[in-house]
């Protein structure tokens, strides 16, 4: 009996030390953080950008651009925006700064532009003085507009070479995503002033919109630059399931609506030809059921060392924040954070202060900050 007790004690001690080894080796870890609300009172905020002095620009889908100074929301909206049609998912959408903002002062924003046959995604740039936009110029307008209020895409990104990328949704007309004479359902690449890059993949093909960099996309509402490879990554909404994470390559066809892991909203019927087809790209990762992703950022700050280079994605449907760990360009782990804590998460950004910032998509939306404990 004494020997059995000693053996049992020995096993307990071994188990205790094994747990300690796992804990301190980083295998069993959980990043603790607190949520700090920067400001509330935003009407369905959609995108945000950080000014060099620490202030923030935030778009409201209803068509207003707002300034947050010293953590306080300016009550007066910024004036000087072009004509914007707020309808359905459309309105004033993303906002980013030029990489050389300190030299040229350019701010870029995407929006639903009204036209004779409906609406379409457009991008303009302007300079900000006090609460007024100056030197406003439109640098992109999708070529075919329609009256629907869905799938504008509209995320903006500059890469390391200074090219501007724009995501465009299929505008609720899925077959348009396979047409190269139509901007719908594509990722666009331009120079910062809207000029066409000479090395875009379809420049030499007649009858094609040469601004198109990749196509076959449904509704990409997240885009971020991989901090180690410099590659452009996007995610896009699937239908009922089939949300995708993709690495964008020039000239590639990402399949929608020919291939998808999603199904029709009504009765769950099949879409297209299945999940695979030769000549069409497979996603790096996909979600079934759909999480309704929006906003995306690689974490590049120093406040959360455990999260370095992890990918963060907002979820509208499940009202949470997805964290993805990557190895060799593949997703090896998914963690779901903040479920039911904040509501619909519309945008995610790494702040210049190293914290992680989120926008909540509500009538009384907020900017919140995640800070380590």
* Positions of E strands within 4-158: 33-42, 45-50, 56-60, 64-69, 72-73, 92-97, 106-115, 118-129, 132-141, 156-158
Could you give the CA distance from residue 114 to residue 103 in angstroms, rounded to a whole number?
Answer: 32
Assess whether 217 carries a catalytic annotation: no
Could you give the CA distance from residue 254 to residue 242 in angstroms, rounded to a whole number?
Answer: 12
**Residues in Cβ contact with 47 at an 8 Å cutoff, skipping those fewer than 6 apart:** 58, 59, 93, 94, 95, 96, 109, 110, 155, 156, 347, 359
Could you give the CA distance from residue 326 to residue 319 in angstroms, rounded to a whole number?
Answer: 23
Q: How far is CA 268 from the centre of its chain?
A: 27
Phi, psi of 79 (to 5 degrees): -95, 160
Could you give the CA distance from residue 335 to residue 328 in angstroms, rounded to a whole number?
Answer: 18
Contacts 24+ apart (CB under 8 A), 131-137: 131/67, 131/74, 131/76, 131/77, 131/78, 131/79, 132/78, 132/79, 132/80, 133/65, 133/78, 133/79, 133/80, 133/81, 133/107, 134/80, 136/80, 136/81, 136/82
Tokens 């039911």 sit on residue: 340
The one catalytic residue in 151, 183, 217, 235 is: 151
Q: Which residues form the catalytic set?
A: 151
């Amino acid at each position: 009996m004494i020997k059995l007790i000693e053996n049992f004690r020995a096993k307990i001690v071994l188990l205790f030390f094994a747990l300690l080894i796992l804990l301190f080796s980083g295998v069993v870890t959980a990043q603790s953080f607190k949520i700090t609300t920067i400001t509330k009172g935003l009407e369905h905020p959609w995108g945000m950008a950080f000014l060099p002095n620490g202030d923030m620009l935030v778009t409201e889908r209803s068509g207003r651009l707002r300034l947050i100074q010293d953590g306080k929301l300016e009550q007066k909206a910024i004036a000087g925006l072009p004509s914007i049609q707020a309808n359905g998912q459309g309105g004033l959408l993303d906002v980013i700064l030029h990489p050389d903002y300190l030299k040229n002062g350019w701010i870029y924003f995407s929006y639903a532009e009204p036209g004779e046959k409906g609406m379409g995604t457009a991008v303009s740039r302007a300079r900000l003085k006090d609460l007024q936009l100056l030197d406003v110029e439109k640098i992109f307008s999708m070529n075919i507009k329609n009256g629907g209020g869905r799938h504008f895409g509209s995320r903006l990104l500059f890469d390391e070479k200074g090219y501007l990328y724009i995501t465009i949704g299929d505008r609720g007309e899925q077959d348009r995503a396979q047409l190269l004479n139509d901007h719908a359902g594509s990722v666009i690449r331009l120079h910062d002033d809207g000029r066409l890059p000479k090395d875009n993949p379809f420049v030499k093909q007649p009858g094609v919109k040469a601004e198109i960099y990749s196509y076959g996309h449904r509704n990409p509402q997240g885009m971020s630059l991989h901090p180690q490879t410099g590659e452009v990554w996007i995610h896009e909404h699937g239908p009922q399931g089939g949300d995708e994470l993709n690495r964008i390559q020039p000239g590639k066809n990402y399949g929608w609506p020919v291939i998808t892991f999603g199904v029709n909203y009504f009765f769950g019927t099949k879409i297209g030809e299945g999940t695979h087809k030769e000549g069409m790209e497979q996603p790096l990762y996909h979600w079934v059921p759909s999480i309704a992703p929006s906003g995306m950022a690689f974490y590049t700050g120093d406040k959360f060392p455990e999260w370095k280079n992890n990918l963060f994605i907002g979820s509208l449907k499940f009202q949470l924040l997805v964290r993805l760990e990557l190895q060799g360009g593949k997703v090896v782990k998914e963690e779901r954070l903040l479920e039911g804590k904040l509501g619909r998460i519309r945008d995610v950004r790494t702040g210049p202060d190293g914290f992680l910032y989120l926008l909540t998509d509500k009538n009384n939306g907020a900017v919140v900050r995640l800070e380590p404990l």
